[in-house]
A and B are shown apart, each in its own frame.
Chain A
C-alpha cells in the first residue's frame, strides 16, 4: 500500500517467529468483496499501529496464535499473510 518509512522492515506476519513482537503496518485488502477481511481484522483490533505478539504458529503449517490488545486470537495462514508488520529495531 504505502511506503512512508522505507528504513523499517515491512514483513508479512507469517515471517515472524514465536515470541516476536511487531507493529501492524498495513493489511492488504486482498481480492475480497470491498475488503471484508480487512474490515473483519480491523474489527478484531488489528489496526495499523497495533502491537502484535506471535505466541505460536500452529502445528503443521497451521494458524497463528497472536496477542492483540489483551486478547488471544487465532489467525489462519491466509489471513496472517495479509497482515504486514514492522519489527522495531
Chain B
C-alpha cells in the first residue's frame, strides 16, 4: 500500500498558469522531451507526497480537443490511451467562459477531473466575483480556487486530486447537452457504435464524427464505414437546419453551455475601468509608442546580453585556458596532447563560453517576456512585417532568438501552428546572424573597414532573409496560417517558473549541442594532426581562390566555422599568423569572407537542432542549400565589389 503510483495530467488553455502549477508540484524533478515521433513538447515530473509516487505530465496549452493541431491530438490521445488517474484542468478565472468550453470537452472524454480555478487574484482585480461552490455543483466536478504564482491553493489541489483517485467518487456526471437536433443524432450514432471497442468513449466518438474529425473518421472507417457515412448525412441535416456547418453549430452550442455556467457563477462587481495593465497594454500596442517601446526594449536587451556575455565569456575562457599547462603536463605536447586539448577540451570550452554567458541570460529574458505577456504584443506588432515573408507575427520571436543563437531559435519555432510554418520559420531563422556571426562581422569588417560596412552587411543579410523567406513560402506546399492569438493580461511572472524553464532549456541545449561541438572539434583536430587539412584546402581552391578570390587558407577556416562561426575568424588569425587582417586581406576579401561566413551554413549545433525538429532530409537540404547560396552570393559580391571599389 505504501508505494502507490498516481498519474496526473495537467490540461488547459495556453497562459492559464499551467506551468506554474506544474513547477509547484514537481520542483526540480522534471524534464522535458518530445512526444514520441512528434515535435510537440512533453514536460514530465515526479513528486512524492504522503507515500504516493506521483507522476505529473504537463499537456500542451490548447483551446480544443480536435485535430486542428498536433498539440491537440497528442493531448487527446494521451488522456484516452494512457488514462491518467486524474486530469487537473487549470482554468483562468478571469476568462472563465472560454476556459469552461475546454472543460466541457475534457468532460466528454469521461476522464476524472479536478478543476484548478487559477488566477483568482486577476479575476478579482477585474472586478469578477466567483462562486466556486456553485461551479462545482453545475459541473459535477470539484473546483479548487488557486493563485499559482503565490502558491495559494496548490496543496489543496493536490489533496483533492489524491482524494478523488483514492475514493473514485461516483458523482453524478454532468454532461453538456447539445440542442435537440444534435442530441438526437448523437444518440443514434452511439447506438450504432454500441459493439465497437474504441479508445475513446462512444459519446465522444459520436460527437467528433458529427464534427467531421479526421482522426476519428479514419478509426471508424476501419470498423464500419457505414457509420461514417451516416454521421456525414446527419451532419448535413444539421447544417441544413442551422445554416452553419455542423462543427460550428456544435462548438457554438458548447460555448453557449459554457457561457450559461460562467454567467451563473460570476458577478462583475465593479464597472470595467482601464486598469494599470490595460494602460500598459494600450501603450505597448500603440501604433507609434508600441514600436518605439519594442525597438528600445530590444536594444536594451541585446546591449545587456552582449555586454554581460562578452565579459563573462572572456573571463571564463581565460579561466579555462589557464588549465592548458596542466593538461599539457599530463598528456604531453605530442599528438595525443593536441587531440585532448585542441580537440576535446577546446570543444568543451567553446560550449561553456557560449552557454553560460549568452544562452542563459537569453532564456531568462525570453521567459520573462513570454510569461509577462509582452511576447504576444511583439507578435501583434510584427504580424504585418512577417506576412511579407509569408509567416505571421509569432515567427518574429524565433527570429529575435536567432540573433543570440540559432539553436534555441530553431527549437523555438515550435510555437508556430503547422509543420509547414515551423519549417519555414526555422529556415528563415538559420539565416539570421547569430552572436558568433556578429563577432566576425564586427571583428573583421567593423574593425578594419568601419561600422558602416558592417551595418551594410546586416542590411544585405536582412534583404536576403526577406527574399529567401518569400521564395520558400512560395515553394513549400500548403496554405499559410494567419495570426489567431490570445493576448492575455500583463502580469508579473513567477520567478521560480522562469528559472526552471531556463534551466530545462539550457540542459536541452547542452544535450543537443555539446556532443556535436566536442566531436566536431575532435574530428577537425584529428584531421589537422593527420595532415589532411592542406589537401582539403587545396581541393577547395577552385571555390575559395578562383570563385571567391580569397586566400587558399580560408577553405580550412570556413570548415572550422561549421563548429562555431567565429572560429572561422579566430582560425584565420591563427593560420595567417596575425590578427591585423588589413595586412593579409584586401577590403573586398574581408567583405566576401564575412558575407560567406554569415550565410554559408547553420553551425553544427544548429544542424543538430534542425535534425531533431525536422529530420535528416530537410536539414541536409537546408544546409546544402545555404552553402551553395552563400558561395554564389560571395562570388557575385566579389565581382560587383571589384567594379565599385
Binding site for B on A (CB under 8 A): 1-2, 4, 26-27, 29-45, 47-50, 56, 58-63, 65, 69-79
Q: Which residues of B contact A75 (CB under 8 A)?
A: 482-484
The 16 sampled A-B contact pairs (Cβ below 8 Å) are A2-B244, A27-B248, A32-B479, A34-B214, A36-B68, A44-B486, A56-B285, A58-B285, A58-B384, A61-B384, A62-B384, A63-B483, A69-B255, A70-B96, A79-B482, A79-B484
Q: Which residues of A contact B623 (CB under 8 A)?
A: none
B248 touches A38 (CB 8 A): yes
A1 touches B243 (CB 8 A): yes
Tell me the nearest residue of chain B to A81, going by C-beta: B482
Q: Which residues of B contact A38 (CB under 8 A)?
A: 245, 247-248
Question: Could you tell me the distance between the alpha carbons of A56 and B98 in the complex, rounded to whole angstroms?
Answer: 21
Question: Could you tell me the distance between the alpha carbons of A39 and B252 in the complex, rounded to whole angstroms?
Answer: 11
Question: Could you tell me the distance between the alpha carbons of A17 and B103 in the complex, rounded to whole angstroms?
Answer: 34
Tell me the nearest residue of chain B to A24, going by C-beta: B252
B485 touches A73 (CB 8 A): yes
Question: Could you tell me the distance between the alpha carbons of A27 and B248 in the complex, rounded to whole angstroms?
Answer: 9
Contact of B486 among A30, A48, A72, A76 (CB under 8 A): A72
Question: Could you tell me the distance between the alpha carbons of A39 and B213 in the complex, rounded to whole angstroms?
Answer: 11
Contact of B483 among A45, A70, A79 (CB under 8 A): A79
Interfacial residues of chain B within 235-258, with CB under 8 A of chain A in the complex: 243-245, 247-248, 251-252, 255
Contact of B98 among A30, A65, A69, A78 (CB under 8 A): A69
Q: Which residues of A contact B290 (CB under 8 A)?
A: 59
Contact of A58 among B63, B243, B245, B380 (CB under 8 A): B380
Max count, chain A CB within 10 A of own CB: residue among B94, B95, B376: B95
Q: Which residues of A contact B392 (CB under 8 A)?
A: 76
A1 touches B244 (CB 8 A): yes
B387 touches A43 (CB 8 A): no
Contact of B379 among A29, A33, A74 (CB under 8 A): A74
Minimum CB–CB distance from A70 to chain B (whole Å) comes to 5
Q: Does B64 contact A (CB under 8 A)?
A: yes
Q: Which residues of A contact B387 (CB under 8 A)?
A: 76-78
Q: Which residues of B contact A39 (CB under 8 A)?
A: 64, 66, 68, 247, 251
Minimum CB–CB distance from A41 to chain B (whole Å) comes to 6
Contact A63:B245 (CB < 8 A) given known A70-B97, A76-B482: no
Minimum CB–CB distance from A23 to chain B (whole Å) comes to 12
Q: Which residues of B contact A33 (CB under 8 A)?
A: 479
A43 touches B251 (CB 8 A): yes
Minimum CB–CB distance from B263 to chain A (whole Å) comes to 11
Question: Could you tell me the distance between the alpha carbons of A56 and B487 in the complex, rounded to whole angstroms?
Answer: 13
B383 touches A69 (CB 8 A): no
Question: Could you tell me the distance between the alpha carbons of A44 and B68 in the complex, rounded to whole angstroms?
Answer: 12
Question: Could you tell me the distance between the alpha carbons of A39 and B484 in the complex, rounded to whole angstroms?
Answer: 12
Contact A47:B255 (CB < 8 A) given known A59-B291, A70-B95, A70-B97: yes
Question: Could you tell me the distance between the alpha carbons of A7 and B61 in the complex, rounded to whole angstroms?
Answer: 41
Minimum CB–CB distance from B487 to chain A (whole Å) comes to 5
Q: Which residues of B contact A60 (CB under 8 A)?
A: 287, 384
Q: Does B619 contact A (CB under 8 A)?
A: no
B383 touches A63 (CB 8 A): yes
Max count, chain A CB within 10 A of own CB: residue among B101, B380, B479, B484: B484
A42 touches B252 (CB 8 A): yes
- Complex A-B, nearest 7 residue pairs according to Cβ-Cβ distance, in ascending order: A59-B287, A76-B483, A76-B482, A47-B252, A78-B482, A43-B64, A2-B243
Q: Does B443 contact A (CB under 8 A)?
A: no
Interfacial residues of chain B within 270-322, with CB under 8 A of chain A in the complex: 281, 285, 287-288, 290-291
Q: Which residues of B contact A72 (CB under 8 A)?
A: 281, 486-489
B244 touches A48 (CB 8 A): yes
Minimum CB–CB distance from B129 to chain A (whole Å) comes to 14
Question: Could you tell me the distance between the alpha carbons of A73 and B485 in the complex, rounded to whole angstroms?
Answer: 6
Q: Which residues of A contact B479 (CB under 8 A)?
A: 30-33
A34 touches B484 (CB 8 A): no
Q: Does B402 contact A (CB under 8 A)?
A: no
A48 touches B252 (CB 8 A): yes
